[in-house]
Amino acid sequence: MKTVFMLNVVRKMGTEVPTLYHSSDSDDFTMASRTLSMLTGNSSDSTEADVMDQKQSAYDALKMMDHIRWSFKSSPTLDHMKREAEAFREIKGEYPHHTVIDIMMDIDYEGAGEQNYWALMAELKDMARDQQTAITVVHHTSESAKGGSPPPRSAIMGKANQLPTLILTLWGDAYAGTLDIATVKNRFGPQDAMGRKFFSMMADPAICLVEEMEQRPPHLFRDGPYVAEEDKVRWDDE
């Protein structure tokens, strides 16, 4: 559900947030099918057929996400990602406001083979500052982490948890149709490094959709600079 969750975050950000999405773990056909399923509510089997047949309805629906530019290099280097950002600026007149790297372990970088990502995170931090872009990195946690709830911060692989401003961990329950999300690091707000405090969202993997729980105050998609102060989540409220 990592990529599905990320697609829904980008969808909710909307067209006002130009985005560069590095998808090394999934090819263009897979991402087009998943995105189409998320937008239309049709099953992945149906949307895969629509993309394969190049139906006009598929093109029309996917235009809703035309604020995203995609890169599908399977083992991107830092130089490749920087060139993609420069190409984005050449076309759009500015760097992307949001850059997604999905996933970290595919980056071709010294130390990646030993799953030591500390130096890589420092490079990404510099990239974010130079381009004035928010970088979101999709990453793995250790398989040794116990299931049943979002993994703790200590389960994040490869020393990748020291520099990020915000870290969320996920746990999906296919039977309940939920995705539990824990804020295990938050430099500017409440956090629970053990992942014991989390909130749940509705998740339907069949149509690649993640949404707020209707019966609860929204947590994730009702926060940030574009949300009025009176509508924002108060994380200190139980």
Position 94 in a domain: yes
Q: Where does the pLDDT of residue 6 fall: very low under 50, low under 70, confident under 90, or very high at 90 and above?
A: very high
DSSP at 130: H
Q: Where does the pLDDT of residue 208 fall: very low under 50, low under 70, confident under 90, or very high at 90 and above?
A: very high
User: How do 19-23 and 98-102 pair as beta strands?
Assistant: parallel
Is the Cα torsion angle 231, 208, 137, 22 positive or negative in sign?
A: negative
State the CATH number of the domain containing residue 50: 3.40.50.300
Structural domains of the chain, count: 1
What is the overall mean pLDDT for the chain?
Answer: 89
Q: Where does the pLDDT of residue 229 fall: very low under 50, low under 70, confident under 90, or very high at 90 and above?
A: confident
Position 73 in a domain: yes
Residues 168-179, mean pLDDT to the nearest whole number:
91
Position 149 in a domain: yes
SS (H, E, C) 74-125: CCCCHHHHHHHHHHHHHHHCCCCCEEEEECHHHCCCCCCCCCCCHHHHHHHH
Tokens representing 234? 């108060």
For residue 151, give its domain range: 2-231
Tens digits of per-residue pLDDT, 34-72? 999 999 999 988 999 999 999 999 999 999 999 999 999
Position 148 in a domain: yes
Q: Where does the pLDDT of residue 236 fall: very low under 50, low under 70, confident under 90, or very high at 90 and above?
A: low
- The answer for residues whose C-beta is within 8 angstroms of residue 203's C-beta and 6 or more apart is 1, 4, 172, 177, 178, 179, 209, 210
Distance CA 85, CA 20 (A): 7
Position 238 in a domain: no
Tens digits of per-residue pLDDT, 9-25? 999 999 999 999 999 99
Report how far apart, in Å, the C-alpha atoms of 36 and of each of 40, 66, 160, 220 are. 6, 12, 32, 22
Q: Which of 11-15, 119-123, 128-132 has the highest mean pLDDT?
A: 128-132
Distance CA 17, CA 131 (A): 14
Position 84 in a domain: yes
Least confident of 2-16, 21-35, 40-54, 112-126: 112-126
Position 237 in a domain: no
Position 236 in a domain: no
Please state at what angle helix 118-131 crosses helix 78-92, rounded to 10 degrees: 20
